[in-house]
Each structure stands twice: as C-alpha cells, then as structure tokens.
Chains A and B, each alone.
Chain A
Amino acid sequence: MKNYPLLNRIRESRLFLPLGALAVILIFDAIYAPGFFNIAIQGDHLYGNLIDVVNNGAPLMLVAIGMTLVIATGGVDLSVGAVIAISAAMGAVLINPALGNQLITNEILTRDATNTPLPIIILADLAAGTLCGLWNGFLVSRARIQPMVATLILMVAGRGIAQLITNGQIMTIYYTPYFWFGNGYIFGLPVSVYIVAIVFILAWILVRKTSIGLFIESVGINSKSSYYSGIDEKNVKLLAYAFCGFCAAIAGLILSSYVHSADGNNNGLNYELDAILAVVMGGTLMTGGRFSLFASVIGAVVIWTFTLTVYTLGVPANALLAAKAVLVMVVILLYSDYFRRFLNRFSEHKGPEHGRAN
C-alpha cells in the first residue's frame, strides 16, 4: 500500500535534482580540490569547508524554508533581503550601549555590553521580521496586489528602514554573547546548525502535522477550487508570508552575529535570488503547489557548496553572481512546461501505446 510507483517517482525527482547537483559538485571537489573535505578539530569544535557550508549557509537555509511556503502558495517574497537587514539593524541598535546617550565615546561604543537583555533582542528581531511578513501578506491577500509588486515595495523601503534604525551607519557589535548565534559551537557543531534544525522541525510540524501544508498546496494549485472547498485562502497566504518574514528575521540575527555588525545596505544582499534558486532547485514550481522543505534546504546547501567551491578555486565572490543567474535560468527551464513537453514528446516517441492508453 505504501509503494506507489508514481508517487515514489515524484518524491525521488524532487530530491533528485538538488542531491544530484550536490554530488556533482562534491565529486568535482574530490578531484580538483581534495582539501575541501578536510575536517580538523580546532579547540572544542570541528573546522573545515564542509562545516563552513552549513554554518555560512544557515541563513540561506532558513530563508529558503520560509520562501518555500510563499512560493508554494503561488507567490514570491522579494523582500527577504531587506527583512534580514531590518532584523540585523534591530539587534545592533538594541545592543548599542550608547542608545539615547548623548556623550558617545569610543570606549562606551566598543564596550562588551548590551542595553537590552538578549532574550528581548531576539524577540524584538523576530517580531520585526514577522511584522514585515504580515505586511506583505496583508498586501497580497487583502489588498490583492500582485506578490511581486507587493514585496517589491518592502524591498525598496525595507533597506531604507534598516538604515533608519541604525541611523545610516554600519554598526559594529561588541557584545560577545550575541556572537554565539553565528560563531558558537555545541558539541563541536556550529550553533546555527541547531537553529536551522529547530526552525526546520518547527516548520515541518507546522505544515505536515497540521492541515496548513495541505491548504498551502491546494491554494497554490487551484485557488478557486480551494475557496469553493471552504479553505480560508486569504489567511493561508497571510500565514505563509508572515512565516517567511519570521525566517528572514532569524537569518538576520545569525548573519549580523556572524559578521559582528549590521549594515542596512549589505546585510542579506541578493538573498532573494539565492532563496528563489534554492526553492526552485528543490522542485517547487514558481506557479505554486507541491513543495518539499527538505529539498529546499538541500537546495540551499548546494548553493553554498557551489559558492565555497568557487572561492576555494580563487574566483572572486562578485563574479559568482553571473554564474548563479545562469544556474537559476537553467533550473527554471528544467522544470518549465516547455521542457516537460519536450520530455513528453520524447517519451511518446518511445512508447506510443502507453500514450494512447491514457
């Protein structure tokens, strides 16, 4: 009863592409940059490229989880990068010991102290991100603005808001407990890995242990049928965008903690592209419908393995952009109707009787 060949094929194909891509990159590394696999123990934790992949890739994995839900409803969230910046700015400002203090001296600024207790900082970050997500969700589900346009507005204004929060400066953070999120280790593994695991499990429970996942897929496939079936499609969309904002906020926390600073212009730059790439690579169609959180996370891992591999080969970071853009196009085309039709035609040539039977 559990072995339906068709379903298995779909399941396989959703993970097939990201895992296949990962394998190709790793084989490439094994041949041309064997040092990529070195893992050493440094002090109390593991150290090496593979650890960096999961540590550096953690924010993207988080954003990809949120983006998966939004894309599955048939929308898109272009504001994730800006939300990351807002979250990072919130964190930095609340820590800033000079908050409201007129006599700012270098000594005060660089003190390893915080103005606000850490739990409140985290809560404020998450609240800010969720609020941004709710705003997007409101524009899409209630004001009926196309998702691309609605989230574009926050994409413009969001970085402005982030700079407004930090008063236009790049704020360096000196409060060491804050660094733990992006640089700490538990049992030898980066803290960020555990955060991703927690959010992933949370998201998985949210979509697979409640009916929300089913509703998201249903709305993404056929919004009208879903409405006729009594599904509250507006709130389903609202939830997806809010959750995406929430994920981006955690990503902002980790990112700012990792680089010890908040920069409204550069935190989370190009994350919208990477997240879309990760989700599409994970087999979720841009038109919405079926999704797999795990495949999206693997998609994010692929992107960072690719990125770090390219770094190890000595290619500059910025040039990577062009390569990624081409990669997204190829992946989108692989999943497009056009390509499918091509494949179908191909398979029809092979077995015309089978085609007739349907």
Chain B
Amino acid sequence: MAENRNILSMTGITKTFPGVLALDDVDFSLRKGEVHGLMGENGAGKSTLIKVLTGVEQPDAGIIELDGRSVHVRSPQHSQELGISTVYQEVNLCTNISVAENIVLGHEPHRFGVLAWKKMNALASQALKRLEIDIDVAQPLGNYSLAIQQMVAIARSLEFTSAKILILDEPTSSLDVNETNLLFDVVRKLKSEGLGIIFITHFLDQIYRIADRITVLRNGKLVDTYDTASLPRVELIAKMLGRSMTDLDAVSKSKVEHEQKASGECLLEAKGLGLKGSLEPVELALRVNEVLGLAGLLGSGRTELAGLLFGVDTPDSGSLTLSGKTIQRFSPLESLKNGIALCPEDRKAEGIVGELTIRENIILALQARYGWFKFLSAEKQNEIAQKYIQLLGIVTPSSEQLAKNLSGGNQQKLILARWLATNPQVLILDEPTRGIDVGAKAEIQKLVLDLAAQGKSCVFISSELEEVLRISHRIVVMRDHKKAAEYSGDVNDQTIMQTMAGNL
C-alpha cells in the first residue's frame, strides 16, 4: 500500500491557449519514491502540464490531488508551499550572486539586522553536501559549470521546503556524461528518501536508466502510462511520434509519381559543415527534384543543421556549395539571394510578423531581396498575395487581415507563401506541420512534393516519422548533434526509429 501510494494525481487536465488545445483531458499520477518520466515531442504538452502543476498556468478543467486532497495551485510560490519543487532546463538562478545566496536567499539567517554571511555559507555548504557536492559557496554562481548550477538549483528547491515532489525539466540537456551521472546519483538518493520525481528529457537512454514509469503525451493528449521495464525503446518512440494512417494516403501516391524524376544532379552540398557546440561536421548532398527528410528527436541537431544551411549562424568548419559555387557569406539575406529559403521552427518568434497584414507578410522576403528602392506597387503586392492565398488555400476573409489573427496552419502556409514568392531553388522546412490539423498537414505535404516535381529541392524536418517516410526520397537521421545515418529508397520506420534511439 505504502509503496504504491499516489502522492500526486492529476485527472482530466485541459488547457487551451488562443487557437491551440495544449492539453486535452490528460491524466497523470506520481507515486512516492518513484522517478516518473514524462515524454513527448515539442508541442506534446509536457511543459504545459508542468506549468499547470506548478501554478504558472491555470487549467481550464481537471482536478489536481496532492496526498488525496484536491488542491488549486494558485502560483509558483503556492506550489512550493505545497511541496512541489521545480528545476528547469535553464537554471532559474542568478549568476551574479554567490552560490550560498542562490541557495539561501529568501530564508537567509540574520544577526543583529545584518546578513550572517558565515552562517549562510555554512547552511549552503550543508545543503550541497546532502547532494554530495563540495564547492566554494562564496563564489558567484556564474563561475561554475551548468551542471553545478543545476545541482545548486536542486539544493535550493529542496532546502527550505518540505519537498514531496521534485520536477526536473530537461535537466541534462546541457550536461556531459559525467555530470549526468552525478545528477543521477543525486536523483537516486532523493528517490530513496521517498521523494516523487518527475523527470522530463528527450534522451531515451537516460529515461531507461532512471525512470520507473513513463507517461507519453502527444499533441496535447495522453497516450498512456507504462512501466519502463515493459516498454521497449522502439515502442516508446513509436508512441511518441504517433502513427496515424488516416487520410494521408493521397500524398503517398503522388510521391510515387514523382519518384522517378529525382535526378542525380547535386544542387546543395555540405562538406564537413559544422559549428562548435551546436553541430558536429555533417556531409549532406541535396539533389534537384528531391525531398530530403531530416529525422531525429528534439535536440538531435536537425534545427541547427537547418540554421547553418540557411546562414542564420556562420559555420566554423567545412563548406557549403550551391550548384558548384561555394557560399562565402552566411546570412539570411545572402541565402535569400542564392535561392535558399527556410521556414523556421518557431513560427511566432522567427516566422510571422504578427502586426503586419497577410499581404505584407507574403511579400516581405521578396521585397527584402529587391531591396529598399525597388518597391512593389500596391497592385503587384495584391496580385502576389492573392496568388499565394489561393495557391496554398490560406483561409482568410481578406489579404488585409493581420497575420496574428490566422490559425496555426494558416500562419504556416503564410510563411511558406512568403518564401515561395521568392521562387527559391532550395526550400528548408523545419517542422512545417507541427500543431496544425490533419487536413492542412496533408495539403502542406502535397505541396512539398509538387514543388520537388517542379524542379525545386526540399529539406523536410519533422518529428513525425510517418510524415518524413511518406514524402521523402531520402532520409537523413540525426542523433546527438551528428548525422547518424542516411537511407535512400525503401526503409521502414523500425529501422529509422532504431537509428534515432541509438545503440540498443
């Protein structure tokens, strides 16, 4: 009884943001003394679930029970008072003040109205000793590695609250192997002390090393909760990525029709292209008429590769050649002029310009290529806007609507329209179908294939393996900031998932 007691149970949690159903009737439970992995790709709803639990967001519906008692988590402070401690991927501490202050501040000891620095340092050292860490706590936090900062964050979250639940949100994403081991020792220790630990990561092997149970979310819905021991790795990936075969069959057919057309001519070629700390040197060749799928889990380096190809970052090794010419200067504007386009992953922050109209958003990149003084006339702008609104089927009452008022799928089409208007040779699409409905997904996939048929080349990045398999002529699998494998022709999803998962 005691062992299987739920210290936390969340039932029927639902949360909507404008235009997005972030959590749809999700159940989640946590037992005393267990490490519970929370898995899912970007947009699956993991972070929203955590935000609901920590009081950052309020759920639209659903019940949260702590130790069998229904609670309403009002704010992050309140969640701490309830015994829920959270350590985020980005260390939410202040790097300019000392380690001791970071641990103790808010509960600092005083003597005669003066901060008792010595006692403060002693308290902090003690708190860190519990985690078996011994460092000079008087130094500014910024002097230590991210791993230590992470431990300090854990120490702080445990020290002054009677924490029952510890949430670790992607704690290992910036740690190396030894640092990760150190963290896991700490996690095991805390687990043995009876804490319930929610562990979020996108590293599969880590989940298998540490988690007792795994809950998988996808598109805001609960897939299910599994015992780690009874869930093979490949199965987990399948659950995370989802394999709905619904109404996408039409796309497959059109791919077959185009298959033969993919010529051998190489258009864009990366030789040892890499950037320290972001992507290890990669070999990549993109042919005319081809859709090249980039598969890989979140954080595998796929977005970084896209960024390098488009010139958002300047690579520090290797070279990039376009139709035999080596690209010297890396910037979005240069790429634009060279006929390379990128639909970025983060639609809101990097894609649309919300307060501009649909028309202005569509002509933005084309106008940027034309420069300051060759201004498209109003008629020309309207003509282009109308053309792409119709071509891509953007649903809007008029081209003068503000872009921010469009739905997610239509915003995605809008960004696609912006780049198509520049008539690019190479189109890089980073997660173009995330968070949009099935119908719009199929349209976008069809469009990508059509473009390839018309002589363009596409790099298609997606977390949904099904989709990558469906429309790509070749597939490159990324793992751990490296190119893991390349497959052409027929390859089944099992093989790719195994490559994504790494050595079994």
* A contacts, CB < 8 Å to B: 1, 4, 6-7, 209-212, 214-215, 217-218, 221-222, 224-232, 289-290, 358
Q: Are A224 and B350 in contact (CB under 8 A)?
A: yes
Q: In whole angstroms, how far apart are the Cα atoms of A215 and B374 in the complex? A: 13
| 0/1 string, B362-405, CB within 8 A of A gives 1 | 00110111111111100000000000000000000010111001
| 0/1 string, B348-369, CB within 8 A of A gives 1 | 0111111111001000110111
Contacts of A210 in B (CB 8 A): 372-373, 375
| Nearest CB in chain A to that of B365: its residue | A229
| Nearest CB in chain A to that of B357: its residue | A7
Q: Are A230 and B365 in contact (CB under 8 A)?
A: yes
Q: In whole angstroms, how far apart are the Cα atoms of A209 and B405 in the complex? A: 27
Q: Specify which of A6, A214, A227, A232 lies most central, judged by the most chain B CB atoms within 10 Å of its CB.
A: A214
Q: In whole angstroms, how far apart are the Cα atoms of A211 and B369 in the complex? A: 11
Q: What class of interface size applies to chain B in its complex with A? A: 35 or more
**Given A222-B349, A289-B355, 8 more contacts at CB 8 Å?**
A1-B398, A6-B402, A210-B372, A215-B367, A221-B353, A222-B353, A228-B342, A231-B364
Q: In whole angstroms, how far apart are the Cα atoms of A358 and B337 in the complex? A: 38
Per DSSP, chain B at the interface is: mixed
Q: A228-B312, A228-B332 are in contact. Are A214 and B350 (CB under 8 A)?
A: no
Instruction: Write 18 A-B pairs (CB below 8 A) sorted by A numbering.
Output: A1-B398, A4-B398, A4-B400, A4-B401, A211-B371, A212-B372, A214-B356, A214-B360, A215-B367, A215-B368, A218-B364, A222-B352, A224-B350, A225-B349, A225-B352, A228-B342, A229-B336, A358-B18
Q: Are B344 and A228 in contact (CB under 8 A)?
A: yes
Q: In whole angstroms, how far apart are the Cα atoms of A217 and B368 in the complex? A: 13
Q: Are A211 and B370 in contact (CB under 8 A)?
A: yes
Q: In whole angstroms, how far apart are the Cα atoms of A148 and B376 in the complex? A: 34
Nearest-neighbour CB distance to chain B for A215, whole angstroms, equals 7
Q: Are B336 and A230 in contact (CB under 8 A)?
A: yes
Q: Are B400 and A7 in contact (CB under 8 A)?
A: yes
| Nearest CB in chain A to that of B418: its residue | A229
Nearest-neighbour CB distance to chain A for B373, whole angstroms, equals 5
B333 at the interface (CB under 8 A from A): yes
Q: Are A221 and B355 in contact (CB under 8 A)?
A: yes
| Nearest CB in chain A to that of B364: its residue | A229
Q: Specify which of A7, A227, A230 lies most central, judged by the most chain B CB atoms within 10 Å of its CB.
A: A230
Contacts of A221 in B (CB 8 A): 353-356
Nearest-neighbour CB distance to chain A for B390, whole angstroms, equals 15
Q: Are A214 and B367 in contact (CB under 8 A)?
A: yes
Q: A4-B398, A228-B351 are in contact. Are A214 and B333 (CB under 8 A)?
A: no
Q: In whole angstroms, how far apart are the Cα atoms of A125 and B398 in the complex? A: 47
* B contacts, CB < 8 Å to A: 18, 312, 332-333, 335-337, 342, 344, 349-357, 360, 364-365, 367-376, 398, 400-402, 405, 418
Contacts of B342 in A (CB 8 A): 228
Contacts of B398 in A (CB 8 A): 1, 4
Nearest-neighbour CB distance to chain B for A228, whole angstroms, equals 5
Q: In whole angstroms, how far apart are the Cα atoms of A230 and B424 in the complex? A: 13
Nearest-neighbour CB distance to chain A for B219, whole angstroms, equals 22
Q: Specify which of B367, B374, B402 lies most central, judged by the most chain A CB atoms within 10 Å of its CB.
A: B367
Nearest-neighbour CB distance to chain A for B332, whole angstroms, equals 5
Q: Are A224 and B349 in contact (CB under 8 A)?
A: yes
Q: Are B354 and A230 in contact (CB under 8 A)?
A: no
Nearest-neighbour CB distance to chain B for A71, whole angstroms, equals 14
Q: Are A230 and B333 in contact (CB under 8 A)?
A: yes
7 nearest CB pairs, A to B: A230-B336, A230-B368, A230-B333, A221-B355, A229-B365, A211-B367, A231-B368
Contacts of A228 in B (CB 8 A): 312, 332, 342, 344, 350-351
Q: In whole angstroms, how far apart are the Cα atoms of A225 and B351 in the complex? A: 5
Contacts of A290 in B (CB 8 A): 355
Q: Are B354 and A222 in contact (CB under 8 A)?
A: yes
Contacts of B402 in A (CB 8 A): 6
Contacts of A289 in B (CB 8 A): 355
Q: In whole angstroms, how far apart are the Cα atoms of A4 and B353 in the complex? A: 20
Q: Specify which of A6, A7, A222, A225 lies most central, judged by the most chain B CB atoms within 10 Å of its CB.
A: A225
Q: A6-B401, A214-B364 are in contact. Are A229 and B372 (CB under 8 A)?
A: no
Contacts of A229 in B (CB 8 A): 332, 336, 353, 364-365, 368, 418
Q: Specify which of B337, B352, B375 lies most central, judged by the most chain A CB atoms within 10 Å of its CB.
A: B375
Q: Are B350 and A215 in contact (CB under 8 A)?
A: no
Q: Are B353 and A226 in contact (CB under 8 A)?
A: yes
Contacts of A4 in B (CB 8 A): 398, 400-401
Contacts of B376 in A (CB 8 A): 211
| Nearest CB in chain A to that of B360: its residue | A214
Contacts of A225 in B (CB 8 A): 349-353
Q: In whole angstroms, how far apart are the Cα atoms of A49 and B494 in the complex? A: 83
Q: In whole angstroms, how far apart are the Cα atoms of A222 and B350 in the complex? A: 8
Nearest-neighbour CB distance to chain B for A353, whole angstroms, equals 16
| Nearest CB in chain B to that of A226: its residue | B353
Nearest-neighbour CB distance to chain A for B322, whole angstroms, equals 16
Q: Are B375 and A211 in contact (CB under 8 A)?
A: yes
Contacts of A211 in B (CB 8 A): 367-368, 370-376
| Nearest CB in chain B to that of A206: its residue | B372
Nearest-neighbour CB distance to chain A for B205, whole angstroms, equals 34
Q: A225-B349, A229-B368 are in contact. Are A217 and B373 (CB under 8 A)?
A: no
Q: Are B349 and A209 in contact (CB under 8 A)?
A: no
Contacts of B360 in A (CB 8 A): 214, 218
| Nearest CB in chain B to that of A2: its residue | B400
Contacts of B354 in A (CB 8 A): 221-222
| Nearest CB in chain A to that of B370: its residue | A211
Q: A209-B375, A214-B360 are in contact. Are A227 and B355 (CB under 8 A)?
A: no
Q: Are B356 and A217 in contact (CB under 8 A)?
A: yes
Contacts of B344 in A (CB 8 A): 228
Q: In whole angstroms, how far apart are the Cα atoms of A225 and B368 in the complex? A: 12
Contacts of A214 in B (CB 8 A): 356, 360, 364, 367
Q: In whole angstroms, how far apart are the Cα atoms of A212 and B372 in the complex? A: 6
Q: In whole angstroms, how far apart are the Cα atoms of A226 and B351 in the complex? A: 8
| Nearest CB in chain A to that of B376: its residue | A211
Nearest-neighbour CB distance to chain B for A356, whole angstroms, equals 11
Q: Are A227 and B332 in contact (CB under 8 A)?
A: yes
Q: A214-B364, A214-B367 are in contact. Are A232 and B333 (CB under 8 A)?
A: yes
Contacts of B355 in A (CB 8 A): 217, 221, 289-290
Q: In whole angstroms, how far apart are the Cα atoms of A215 and B337 in the complex? A: 17
Nearest-neighbour CB distance to chain B for A271, whole angstroms, equals 28
| Nearest CB in chain B to that of A7: its residue | B400
Q: In whole angstroms, how far apart are the Cα atoms of A232 and B364 in the complex? A: 12
Q: In whole angstroms, how far apart are the Cα atoms of A133 and B62 in the complex? A: 57
Q: Specify which of B344, B356, B371, B405 lies most central, judged by the most chain A CB atoms within 10 Å of its CB.
A: B356
Q: In whole angstroms, how far apart are the Cα atoms of A222 and B404 in the complex? A: 12
Q: In whole angstroms, how far apart are the Cα atoms of A228 and B224 in the complex? A: 38
